[in-house]
Amino acid sequence: MSADVYCERGNTGHLPSEFDGSLEYCPLCESPAIKHYDHDTAGCRVDCCQQCHLLFMNPRFTDRYLEFLSIGCYDGIELLLVQRQGWTPEGYDVDEATMELLRHHDRPQWREL
């Protein structure tokens, strides 16, 4: 598979920074027997492992591009830790006291339900 083709909708050339390089093996069982399966709703390629049948986006988004969602985020420590790793965290909690604690300690990107 070419690392230069990542979406069906004409997106060719060098991969944008939000994508890791294309995988030549299954991320679960590490088998090199992967084949094109489909495209997702954005037109990005989905491959299928011929050994374990895992379907996966290939190439995948980088960790830095992904967001972290915590539902029932309590004191928000998870949010703070993943933010320090470069992720964009977002926390939700229905308990008003928890939300006030997050506001008081300036935890990252909390939102009420």
Contact of 46 with 38, CB cutoff 8 Å: yes
User: Tens digits of per-residue pLDDT, 32-66?
Assistant: 999 999 988 777 889 999 999 999 988 887 776 77
Domain ranges of the chain: 1-62, 67-112
Contact 110, 79 (CB under 8 A): yes
Q: Which residues pair with 91 in a beta bridge?
A: 70, 110
The values of phi and psi at residue 105, to 5°, are -95, 10
Residues 6+ apart with CB under 8 A from 37: 46, 47, 48, 55
So what's the pLDDT on residue 112?
A: 52
User: In the beta sheet, which residues pair with residue 12?
Assistant: 5
Angle at 16 between CA 11 and CA 19, to 5 degrees: 100
Count of alpha carbons within 13 Å of 19, Cβ hemisphere only?
20
- Percent of the chain scoring above 90 in pLDDT: 21
Least confident of 8-17, 19-28, 61-70, 92-101: 8-17
Helix (H) or strand (E) holding 89: strand 88-93
